[in-house]
Chain A
Amino acid sequence: EVQLVQSGAEVRNPGESLKISCKGSGYSFTTYWIGWVRQMPGKGLEWMGIIYPGDSDTRYSPSFQGQVTISADKSINTAYLQWISLKASDTAMYYCARPRCSAGSCQYIDFWGQGTLVTVSS
């Protein structure tokens, strides 16, 4: 059974750093892309970016390029989403997700993590 298990909720002050995680199991972690989707409070879904753990090839949506860092440690089947300096506007639920990608595009997302709520407030 494919599972994506995310780390727990976090509360941070503006300007602080943060790294959240997503552990994949039940499939070959290194041969599927894995990515992150943001959902701001009461809003819709936004694709942030993806990484291929096999070779660490990483692709960001333009809106998130330079704002976050996506990484993966294939030795422990875990993907990460990291911020260097959080802003209040980063407050959101973050979902890790496994997209099905081929021939240069990611056609759909077949599995989702349970979500990690990040709250940034002073």
Chain B
Amino acid sequence: DIVMTQSPLSLPVSPGEPASIYCRSSQSLLHSNGYNYLSWYLQKPGKSPQLLIYFNSNRASGVTDRFSGSGSGTDFTLKISRVEAEDVGVYYCMQGLQSPYTFGQGTKLEIK
């Protein structure tokens, strides 16, 4: 199985400050078609996960441009340009290259 490792696991951030979450995969997620099969999700407290980013850097419909994804191969980053109170929750990365599809452990973002 492809192992997904996120860091940090806890991320306290002041409002208006930037934040970065890292995700490393045990195998390259770069498909032969040139896309990285890496997606990001946010699970707000008491809610279902929601898609933020797919194919490493494409924002899902309705997602604010404060969120951006970057990286390639085995190392990926989710960046929030200016954290707002509504961004609190647990962020997960997921690989969609190889079954079984696997998630990172999650990064809990909280407001300082």
Contact = CB atoms under 8 A, between A and B. Distances in A.
Interface in A38-54: 44-47
B48 A61 contact: no
Interface string B10-53: 00000000000000000000010001010101000000111100
Contacts of B41: 45, 109
- Chain B contact residues, majority secondary structure: loop
A44 B106 contact: yes
Nearest to A101: B96
A44 B105 contact: yes
Interface in B46-102: 48-51, 54-55, 60, 92, 94, 96-102
B26 to A, nearest CB: 16
Interface stretch (A24-32, A66-74, A81-89, A110-118): A110-118
Contacts of A114: 48
Contacts, number: 66
Interface size class of A (residues with CB under 8 A): 20 to 34
A79 to B, nearest CB: 16
B91 to A, nearest CB: 11
Given A44-B103, A44-B104, A45-B92, A109 B98 contact: no
A107 B54 contact: yes
A63 B31 CA distance: 25
Interface of B: 31, 35, 37, 39, 41, 48-51, 54-55, 60, 92, 94, 96-106
Interface of A: 37, 44-47, 59, 61-63, 95, 99-100, 105-115
8 contacts: A44-B104, A45-B92, A45-B106, A47-B101, A47-B103, A107-B37, A107-B96, A111-B51
